[in-house]
Structure 1
Amino acid sequence: MIRLILDSYHMGEWNMANDLAIAEEIGNSNSPTTIKVYGWSIPTLSLGKHQKESSIDKEFLKTHKFGLVRRPTGGRAVFHNKEITYLFAISSKDKRLPKNVIQSYMKISDGLTMTLKSLGVNCDVQKNKKKAISRDICYDSPSLYEVTINGKKLIGSAQYRNEKFVLQHGSIPNKFDYRNYVDSFKIKNKKQMISHLENNVTDIQEYLGRSISYEEFADEVKNSFSKVFDEEVEYGEITEKEIKLTKKYLENFKIEL
């Protein structure tokens, strides 16, 4: 059985700590494979695990009362606002997910594309690597096997794996916040970057003319991932032990402004 958690809105450090806590409990065989759908209490910039902070405009984030956190996953920065966020966590020993990193991305992306197609979003999986113009901004270009619409990046995902678990999470924008995303960085060519993003990124509202709610997304995730992984997906809750671990890890992810 795959557990599906329909969570609510939290601060960024809680979201990241909870993702890791869930994955660790799965790796220790205390929790089942888990999909979580959640949101962010305030607009928040998340940095990759090893990403440097020097290019971040912390004063801008502080002035606008935005959050800044570090993810347990790698990759470049993502600005979380007006979006659906997902977590997929599974044991590294589970044979349903390929050991190969790209193939594992592809299988999870298959579940995501099936989910979105059932909601009327005709998306696909990126097959070719596109050139990026920034070292810091995740949505600069789609990576292999990320979800796109007509070649434009829709979902930004990142993955972390070790000998116990695989943790992947990602951002599905209902309405992409170009301006605040770019203004979160100390870069000179902001107009060029915004134009580049507008030409290479899309969101749910642009395609459907409306937003997708967490509830309808989760319901379709339940159907789609059960088919992709050939396993029943059932709604469940975060355990007390996962909450305890989350509180323990909070300070590992928050970045002071």
Structure 2
Amino acid sequence: MIRLIIDTYHMGSWNMACDLAIAKHVGKKVQPTTIRLYSWNLATLSIGRFQKIEDIDIDYLKKKYIDLVRRPTGGRAVLHHKEITYLFAANIDHPKLPKSVVGSYKVIAEALIKSMEELGIKCDMEKNKNNHNNTPACYDAPSIYEITVDKKKFIGSAQYRNESYVLQHGSIPQIFPLRDYVNLFKMPEDKKEKLYKHLEKRVIDINTLIGRTVDCEEMANAFKKGFEDVFEEEVVLGELSPSEIELTKKLVDKFEINLDD
């Protein structure tokens, strides 16, 4: 069985702490494999586990009231705004997941593609290990097995695994905030404009693909079908346990970044 949690809007630090709390419970086999779908109270820039804050224009964040949070996963900066975010957490011994990051990434990508088909969106997965441009932007090129449409990056994902669990989460943009995204980085204006023009041709969102946005319930129905097909398990609606909520509260400080420091 896979537990599917349809969550609501939260601050970035809560979202990251909650993802980690779920994964820790799944890793201990206290909870089953879990999908969580959620959104963000404020537009929030998440940076990778090891990414330098020096890459980010903090003054622009403050001016635009954009929050900043560090992810438990790797990768580069992602602006979460008009989107639905997914978490997939599984025990490290899950029989459907290979032991490598890339192998498990591929299986989860297959489930994401099946899910998007339920929304009428035909996707592919990137087959090549691309070289990213020398920018802190996550979207300048799709990584291997990320979800694309007509070679444009659609769903960006990041994974962390240890001896207990696999934690993967990713952004499904409804309307991609391209101009704000580019302006968040510390770089000369001519490089920002070059990055903007590059990304215009390289990213795509739900609204562009199907002419509308998708609510969380519709996305949940799509995930239910897609993950049942690939993982051959029933996907059942569930909710956070009291211990997951308590652990989330304890972990929130781990992900908060004070913009005034």
Q: Is the 8 A contact 1:134 1:140 kept in 2?
A: no
**Cα displacement string for residues 129-183 of structure 1 (whole angstroms, at most 9, x for unaligned residues):** 3332234111111000000000000011000000000000000101100011111
Letter paired with 2:217: E
2:54 is paired with a residue whose SS is coil
Structure 2: distance between partners of 1:219 and 1:30: 25
Tell me the equivalent position of 1:251: 253
Q: 1:210 aligns with which of 185, 209, 212?
A: 212
TM (norm. structure 1) is 0.98
Tell me the equivalent position of 2:23: 23
- Amino-acid identity (%): 52
**Structure 2, unaligned runs of 5 or more:** none
Q: 2:243 aligns with which of 237, 241, 244?
A: 241
Tell me the equivalent position of 2:59: 59
Q: 1:226 aligns with which of 225, 228, 252?
A: 228
After alignment, is 168-177 or 91-100 more displaced? 91-100
Distance apart, 1:227 and its partner CA: 1.3
- Number of residues paired by the alignment? 257
After alignment, is 132-141 or 157-166 more displaced? 132-141
Q: Is the 8 A contact 2:25 2:31 kept in 1?
A: yes
Tell me the equivalent position of 2:203: 201
Q: Is the 8 A contact 1:18 1:246 kept in 2?
A: yes
Distance apart, 1:100 and its partner CA: 1.8
2:55 is paired with a residue whose SS is coil
Structure 1: distance between partners of 2:211 and 2:129: 28
Letter paired with 2:155: I
Structure 2: distance between partners of 1:256 and 1:185: 17
2:51 is paired with a residue whose SS is coil
- Evaluate the alpha carbon distance shift between residue 134 and residue 215 of structure 1 in structure 2; reply closer, same or farther with a 3 A threshold: farther
Structure 1: distance between partners of 2:165 and 2:220: 23
Q: Is the 8 A contact 2:176 2:205 kept in 1?
A: yes
**Cα displacement string for residues 45-103 of structure 1 (whole angstroms, at most 9, x for unaligned residues):** 00000111001111111121110000000010100010010000000012221112111
Q: Is the 8 A contact 2:146 2:155 kept in 1?
A: yes
Q: Is the 8 A contact 1:55 1:186 kept in 2?
A: yes
Structure 2: distance between partners of 1:232 and 1:47: 33
Tell me the equivalent position of 2:12: 12
Distance apart, 1:214 and its partner CA: 1.1
Distance apart, 1:106 and its partner CA: 0.8
**Structure 1, unaligned runs of 5 or more:** none
Q: Is the 8 A contact 2:114 2:225 kept in 1?
A: no
Structure 2: distance between partners of 1:160 and 1:131: 21
1:153 is the counterpart of 2:153: yes
1:54 is paired with a residue whose SS is helix
2:214 is paired with a residue whose SS is coil
Distance apart, 1:223 and its partner CA: 1.3
Structure 2: distance between partners of 1:74 and 1:226: 27
After alignment, is 202-211 or 128-137 more displaced? 128-137
Structure 1: distance between partners of 2:130 and 2:160: 22
Moved segments of 4+, more than 6 Å: none
Structure 2: distance between partners of 1:256 and 1:134: 26
Structure 1: distance between partners of 2:128 and 2:65: 37
**Cα displacement string for residues 201-232 of structure 1 (whole angstroms, at most 9, x for unaligned residues):** 11111111111111101011111101111111
Q: Is the 8 A contact 1:126 1:142 kept in 2?
A: yes
